[in-house]
Amino acid sequence: MVSVKDYAQDSHTITWCPGCGDFSILASLKKALVDAKLEPHNVVIASGIGCSGKLPHFIRAYGFESLHGRAVAAASGIKLANHELNVIAVGGDGDGYGIGTNHFVHACRRNYDMAYVVHNNQIYGLTTGQTSPTSEQGFKTKSTPEGVLEVPVNPIALAITMGATYVARGFSGDLVHLAKLIQGGIEHKGFALIDVMQPCVVWNRVNTFEYFRKKTYKLEDEGYEPFDKLKAYERAWEWKERIPLGVFYKADAPTYENGLPQLQSGPLVKKPIENIDIENLLSKYE
């Protein structure tokens, strides 16, 4: 029986700031993997760059730290190479909703069978406090001393619109609830977004733990059911006074991998290669 200890990584010192919400996300992910009864050797975690990008260093599973904004691209490649693996992408709001938006959008519409956990602290934390794509209008940072001009990216609405089949929001201040959302995303057959409100205790003094504790509520506590796409989209825009947590939308749809004939006889990494003429193949690119 797998336990949290099986995912403990003692060879790396965790370098996040004391009190950072990333600690709760890491703990929630470990709990979700254990509750899903997954063995570490069947799990791959791909990350981008930033505070969130170090998460694969702190958990005992296969990991791949990619370039900034490329966590989803790397994770999708891993999934296509071996679709029997449980693949999880991890990134931040600046990483995934900024430079990585293109990969995010197309992963949603392709419906890869993978989960994407986003550490959304509404600021660039690692680079010491610049505006991110999810920073609210008027928010003053080093890069916007007069306040943010743009409307923030709404990842929940974007994911629903572009075809993700499991769309959820969690809060790093509620570890148990967050672990359930991540577990649901991992077990879901299709592309799952779990956007996590993860307060940056150093650079964001507005969207704090107390801010979210006062404003958040759980969708399931109000009898909400996540199967109506239009209702999910409407809830996605609720923010100012009340911020919903939970599963906004869930649907059954064919995954991208299911449509590829190359994968029907098994993972690519298990295909025999002894009959492949490498020399002939390379000659085509000379």
DSSP string across 221-234: GGT--TT-HHHHHH
Task: Choose among 137, 123, 119, 190: nearest CA to 159.
Answer: 190
Q: Are residues 165 and 108 in contact, defined by beta-carbon separation less than 8 angstroms?
A: no
- For residue 90, being part of any structural domain is answered with yes
- For residue 282, being part of any structural domain is answered with no
Using CA atoms, how far apart are residues 222 and 257, in angstroms rounded to an integer? 35
**Start-end of H helices in the chain:** 22-35, 71-81, 93-94, 101-110, 155-162, 175-187, 209-215, 229-236, 278-283
- For residue 250, being part of any structural domain is answered with yes
Both tokens of 66, joined, read 């990619």
- For residue 277, being part of any structural domain is answered with no
Helix (H, G, I), strand (E, B) or coil at 119: strand
Using CA atoms, how far apart are residues 29 and 38, in angstroms rounded to an integer? 12
Domain containing residue 221: CATH number:
3.40.50.970
pLDDT of residue 212: 97
Q: Position 25: which residue type? A: I
pLDDT of residue 116: 98
Using CA atoms, how far apart are residues 139 and 131, in angstroms rounded to an integer? 8
- For residue 14, being part of any structural domain is answered with yes
Both tokens of 8, joined, read 């403990």
- For residue 200, being part of any structural domain is answered with yes
- Rg (the chain; Cα; Å): 19
Q: Are residues 231 and 156 in contact, defined by beta-carbon separation less than 8 angstroms?
A: no
pLDDT of residue 72: 97
Q: Domain tally for the chain?
A: 1
pLDDT of residue 272: 84
Give me the residue label for tokens 């959008």: 105
pLDDT of residue 273: 77
What's phi and psi for 207, nearest 5 deg?
-90, 70
Helix (H, G, I), strand (E, B) or coil at 247: strand
Task: Choose among 119, 161, 145, 134: nearest CA to 249.
Answer: 161
Residues of the chain with pLDDT under 70: none
- For residue 52, being part of any structural domain is answered with yes
- For residue 219, being part of any structural domain is answered with yes
Q: Which residues have CB under 8 Å from 247's CB, separation 6+?
A: 166, 167, 168, 181, 184, 219, 220, 226
**In terms of residue numbers, what domain contains 113?**
4-259
